[in-house]
Amino acid sequence: MPAVSVIGLQWGDEGKGKIVDLLAGNADYVVRYHGGNNAGHTVVVGTKKFFFHLIPSGIFHKNTTAVIANGVILDPEVLVAEMDTLIKEGINLSKKLIISPRCHLILPYHKKLDAAYENARGKKKLGTTKVGIGPTYSDKVSYNGIRVYDLIDWKDFCSKFEFQAKIKNKILKTFGVPPVNISKSLLRLKKLRTRILPYIKDCFEVLNDAVRRKKKILFEGAHGIMLDLDWSPYPYTTASNTIVGGINTGSGLPFKSLDSVIGVVKAFTSRVGEGPLPTEITGRLAVALRERGGEYGTTTGRPRRMGWLDLEALRFSCKINNVSEIVITKLDILSGLIDIKVCTAYMLGGRKINYAGCGYRELARVKPVYRSFPGWIEDISEIRTYSKLPKECRNYLEFIAKFLDVKIKFASVGAERNANVKMK
Ligand code: IMP
C-alpha cells in the first residue's frame, strides 16, 4: 500500500469511514484533499463513537499523521472543536496534524450566504448542508477567498476579512438576513487562529518526500463521485471534485504516484439533498431500509433517500476513477428482502442513454432497466467467509463484480472493524 485512495462511488455515505479506518492502521499519512465539513464520518474506537467532519479519521492510529491538504476548505470553528476532542482523548496533535497554508477558510459570512441562497431557492433548493461549502469555493475561484496562509499575518487577515465581510453583508441585506458582526467575528477568529498556527505546514514537500521514502499514504475521499462538481448533474452537486483527479490538484501528489483506487459501494443507493435519483424507492420498503441501515446524515441528521443499486452510474464511477477494486458495504442490510433489484441501464424516449450523457433534466426522466435477484432471508452479519454466504447473496456480489469488471476486495456486514467477508 504505497499510495492508495479510498473513494465513495455513489452519492456519499457509502461507509468510507470504516474502510479508511481499517486501512489507516497501516498508513504513515492519511490525507484529506477536497471538500470541507459537509463530509461526515463515524469512527468507532474501542467502545467510543466519534463523529468527524474535517480531520482525517486515521488520526486515531498511533503512527499515522493526518494531513489536511490544500484542496480542503476549513471552518476554523469546526477544526478547533475536532482538535479539542482529540486532545481530550490524549492524542498529541503536535506530532500528528499538518494543515496546508493553501486551504481556504470557511468564514461566518459563507455559512450565512449558503443558508440565505438555499432559503431563497424555495422549492428549487439544492439541499446543501448549509455549512458554507459553495460560497467558500466560489470565493476561492473569484479571487475573494481568504486562506489559512492569511492567518499568519493577522493585520493583513483583518483587512481582507473586513473588506469581504462588508461586501457580503450587503448581499445578506438583499436576502433580508442580519449581517455578520465584523468586530465580534474577528475577536473569535483571533482566538481560533492561535490554535491553528502551530499546525500550518506545506504539504507538498511532506507528501512527495513520503513517496520518495516509500511511506504509506492513504487518501481519504469525501462525499461521493455522483456529487462531483464537474461530473454529476449540476447544480445538484457539491462544490469540489470528488473524482480521483482531485488528489493531484488537492494535495500536489503527482498522478503517477497513486498506486491504487479502492471504490466503496453501498449494497444499495442513498442520497441526501435534492436532485435526481433514478433508482429511488419510496414507501414502506424505503422506510424499512432506512431504519435498518441507520440511513440519516452524519452532518445534518437528515433522513437519506433510498434506492436500488445503480450499476449504470457505478460503471461511470469505476471508469472515471480507474477503479480496479471495490468494497461493498452494508450488505447485511439487504437480508430479508424477497426480491433485490439492480439497475443495469437507463432508457430515455425508448433509447438507451448513459449516465454521462445526462444532465439533471434527463437524469430525472430516465427509466431504469432493472434486473431482479432472489433475496436471502438469513442474517449474514456474523459471517466472515465467502463460501458461507447464502447462494443468492453470492450471486448478487458476483453479478456486480462482473458487470463492473472489478474485483470485490471484501464485503462489510456490520459497523465493527472485523465485520467483513473476505472474497474467495
Ligand atoms: P454542499 O456540499 O453542502 O454544498 O451540498 C451540496 C449537495 O451535496 C447536497 O445535496 C448535500 O446533501 C450533498 N453532500 C455534500 N456532502 C455530502 C456527503 O458527505 N454525503 C452525502 N451528501 C453530501
Distance in angstroms (rounded) separating the CA atoms of residues 18 and 14: 10
User: Position 347: which residue type?
Assistant: M
Name the segment(s) of the chain with CATH classification 3.40.440.10.
3-102+197-261
Q: Which of 34, 41, 61, 104 is catalytic?
A: 41
Distance in angstroms (rounded) separating the CA atoms of residues 194 and 120: 36
pLDDT of residue 139: 98
CA 222 to ligand 1: nearest atom: 19
Query: Of 277, 307, 302, 271, which Cα lies nearest the Cα of 289?
Result: 307
Q: Across the strands, what pairs with 31?
A: 67, 219
Name the segment(s) of the chain with CATH classification 1.10.300.10.
104-146+153-196
pLDDT of residue 62: 87
Q: Across the strands, what pairs with 118?
A: none
86-114 pLDDT per residue, tens: 999 999 999 899 999 999 999 999 999 99
Pocket test residue of 223, 270, 298, 305 for ligand 1, highest count of atoms within 8 A of CB? 223
When pLDDT is averaged across residues 375-388 and rounded to a whole number, the result is 97
CA 134 to ligand 1: nearest atom: 4
* Cell, residue 219: 487518501
pLDDT of residue 42: 80
**Pocket of ligand 1 contains residue 13 by CB under 6 Å:** yes
**Pocket of ligand 1 contains residue 353 by CB under 6 Å:** no
| Cα atoms found within 13 Å of the Cα of residue 305, Cβ hemisphere only | 16
CATH 3.40.1050.10 assigned to 265-422: no
Sign, CA torsion 191/197/203/206: negative
**Residue 79 C-alpha to ligand 1 middle, in angstroms?**
19
* Cell, residue 218: 492513504
**Pocket of ligand 1 contains residue 270 by CB under 6 Å:** no
31-89 pLDDT per residue, tens: 999 999 999 888 777 788 888 899 998 888 889 999 999 999 999 999 999 999 999 99
What fold does the segment set 3-102+197-261 form as a domain? Adenylosuccinate Synthetase; Chain A, domain 1 (3.40.440)
**Ligand 1 atom 1: the closest Cα is on which residue?**
128
Name the pTM for this structure: 0.95
**Residue 234 C-alpha to ligand 1 middle, in angstroms?**
13
Mean pLDDT (the chain, rounded): 95
104-146+153-196: which CATH number, 1.10.1200.10, 3.90.79.10, 1.10.300.10, 1.10.10.60? 1.10.300.10
Residue with cell 499519512: 29
pLDDT at 301 over 90: no
Secondary structure (3-state) at 156? helix
308-364 pLDDT per residue, tens: 999 999 999 999 999 989 999 999 999 999 999 999 999 999 999 999 999 999 999
When pLDDT is averaged across residues 391-415 and rounded to a whole number, the result is 96
Name the segment(s) of the chain with CATH classification 3.90.170.10.
265-422
pLDDT at 282 over 90: yes
List Cα–Cα distances, 405 to 322, 325, 340, 402, in angstroms: 11, 9, 20, 5
